[in-house]
């Protein structure tokens, strides 16, 4: 009977006490996919601002509330790619005297100092020479003699061999190979490797309010940008229309951080230090500033004008690098993304071992309807309910104490 009473009190206490805090503070829906397979879910600045700094608390759920494995992929500011760009092989003929001749076309007269040859595997050594021409009539030597050694790849049936020569911009190149003691090589392609940069993709961060003050006293312009929530600004872009020529220094204040000053035989003293990035705006360069990945609620931009009139700034854009969740989705299904839990660790999915198997160019989906899962702060429990809760706690504590003492006495009797 007594144990039943305790269970009743415990149940009543569970009903009266505030519900356990939600596992997640925020939730959003993912736009439906139109085809099966892997997709990139673009994480908006609102999501990355409310989530953990490393996005460890993100969880993706399917239509039946089942967890969906994912990967996180982040754009890089500048990505350098190297691509093989082929030239047109106009002819590949075997001439009298055991010489094979390859004629390569460089129609744009690109300045080059090498030609890369994709050649089928062969256990052979070939002597080669190279010459150039603009009219295919008059040829000029570029490299009198070189050697192509054994062409053997363990990864594929062909291998690339590089032939270096002095920098030239001929329209035609003629490669002659000595075939007097063996059959010709299987030359599949001729071309060059081109390295180019590709800028990362950014998403614009909404600015809630922007205020400007031009101080005549210290010759400084102050721009204060408030975002209304935590965000991670990684690039600021200014649109300056006047004057035509300008060169101004300044800084972007990212907030403050705690630092500790050591004192001999005394406790360390804590103080706050400003965190900022230097700023230089010049008409000779794009008005763009890259910022470190740091959570802020506002930015304060200071531009030193010296004795010049203030700049005419039409707009200021704040951007963050795109971040995606990569997941396999089914078409026309409802997927939910939840986040905002400081205690969660990053999930451990098998998908991390197969990153190279996922294509780079996959569809991008947006999120929609971000909403809070927390109760409104204005909701307060009535005073009577609080008293009842404390009374239930007291009764439960007394009951547990009584049951413990009784149990100990029963054990002594049995002993």
Within-domain flag for 391:
yes
Is there a domain that residue 375 lies in?
no
pLDDT for residue 110 is more than 80: yes
Does residue 29 fall inside a structural domain?
Answer: yes
Residue 66 belongs to domain spanning: 19-75+322-369
Task: State whether 12 and 33 are in the same domain.
Answer: no
Same domain, 181 and 130: yes
Of residues 99 and 267, the one with the higher pLDDT is: 99
Instruction: Tell me which of 104-118, 218-232, 313-327 is least confident.
Output: 104-118
Residue 13 and residue 40 share a domain: no
User: In this predicted structure, what is the pLDDT of residue 265?
Assistant: 59
In a domain, 376, yes or no: no
Q: Residue 203: is its pLDDT beyond 50? A: yes
| Chain-centroid distance, C-alpha 117 | 36
Cβ atoms of residues 326 and 363 within 8 Å:
no
Longest dimension (CA), the chain: 118
What are the structure tokens assigned to 292, written together?
Answer: 């470190």
User: 386 pLDDT exceeds 70?
Assistant: no
User: What pLDDT, on a 0 to 100 scale, did the predictor assign at position 13?
Assistant: 47
Quick one: 103 and 157 in the same domain? yes
Residues 268 and 343 in one domain: no
Determine the Cα–Cα distance for residues 299 and 326; give it in Å rounded to an integer.
31
> Based on the domain organization, do 85 and 194 belong to the same domain?
yes
- The upper half-sphere exposure of residue 321, i.e. CA atoms within 13 Å in the direction of its Cβ, equals 17
Residue 374 resides in a domain? no
Nearest 5 degrees, angle CA 247-CA 206-CA 303?
20
Q: Is the pLDDT of residue 390 over 50?
A: yes
Domain-embedded: residue 393? yes
Residue 10 confidence (pLDDT) above 70: no
Same domain, 117 and 39: no
- Domain check: are 287 and 361 in the same one? no
Based on the fold, state whether residues 222 and 239 are members of the same structural domain: yes
CATH, residue 158: 2.60.120.260
pLDDT at 244 over 70: yes
For the ranges 99-103, 226-230, 265-269, which has the lowest average pLDDT? 265-269
User: Does the pLDDT at position 401 exceed 80?
Assistant: no
Lowest mean pLDDT among 75-84, 277-286, 295-304, 364-373: 75-84
236 plus 155 within the same structural domain: no
Answer whether residue 358 shows pLDDT above 80: yes
Model confidence, pTM: 0.64
What is the chain's mean pLDDT, rounded?
A: 84
pLDDT number for residue 193? 75
Q: Do 183 and 251 belong to one domain?
A: no
Number of structural domains found in the chain: 4
- What percent of the chain clears pLDDT 70, i.e. is strictly above it? 82
Long-range pairs, 406-410, Cβ under 8 A, ≥24: 406/2
């Amino acid at each position: 009977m007594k144990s039943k009473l305790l269970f009743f009190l415990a149940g009543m206490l569970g009903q009266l006490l505030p519900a356990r805090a939600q596992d997640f503070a925020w939730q959003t829906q993912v736009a439906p996919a139109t085809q099966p397979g892997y997709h990139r879910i673009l994480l908006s600045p609102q999501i990355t601002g409310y989530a953990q700094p490393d996005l460890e608390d993100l969880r993706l759920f399917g239509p039946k509330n089942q967890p969906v494995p994912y990967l996180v992929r982040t754009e890089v500011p500048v990505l350098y790619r190297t691509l093989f760009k082929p030239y047109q092989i106009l002819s590949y003929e075997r001439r009298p005297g055991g010489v094979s001749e390859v004629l390569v076309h460089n129609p744009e007269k690109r300045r080059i100092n090498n030609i890369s040859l994709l050649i089928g595997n062969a256990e052979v050594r070939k002597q080669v020479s190279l010459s150039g021409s603009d009219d295919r009539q008059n040829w000029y030597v570029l490299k009198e003699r070189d050697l192509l050694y054994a062409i053997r790849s363990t990864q594929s049936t062909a291998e690339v061999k590089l032939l270096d020569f002095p920098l030239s911009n001929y329209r035609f190149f003629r490669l002659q190979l000595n075939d007097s003691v063996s059959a010709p090589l299987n030359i599949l392609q001729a071309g060059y490797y081109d390295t180019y940069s590709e800028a990362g993709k950014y998403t614009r961060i909404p600015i809630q309010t922007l205020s400007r003050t031009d101080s005549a006293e210290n010759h400084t312009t102050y721009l204060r940008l408030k975002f209304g929530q935590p965000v991670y600004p990684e690039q600021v872009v200014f649109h300056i229309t006047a004057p035509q020529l300008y060169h101004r220094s300044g800084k972007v204040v990212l907030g403050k951080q705690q630092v500790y000053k050591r004192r001999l035989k005394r406790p360390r003293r804590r103080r706050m230090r400003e965190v900022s990035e230097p700023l230089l705006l010049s008409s000779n360069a794009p008005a763009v500033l890259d910022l470190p990945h740091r959570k802020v609620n506002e930015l304060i931009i200071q531009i030193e004008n010296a004795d010049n009139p203030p700049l005419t700034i039409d707009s200021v854009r704040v951007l963050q690098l795109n971040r995606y969740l990569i997941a396999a989705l089914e078409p026309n299904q409802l997927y939910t993304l939840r986040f905002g839990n400081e205690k969660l660790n990053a999930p451990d999915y098998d998908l991390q071992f197969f990153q190279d198997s996922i294509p780079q160019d996959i569809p991008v989906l947006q999120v929609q309807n971000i909403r809070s899962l927390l109760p409104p702060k204005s909701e307060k429990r009535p005073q009577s309910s609080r008293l009842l809760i404390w009374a239930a706690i007291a009764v439960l504590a007394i009951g547990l104490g009584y049951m413990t003492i009784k149990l100990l006495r029963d054990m002594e009797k049995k002993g």
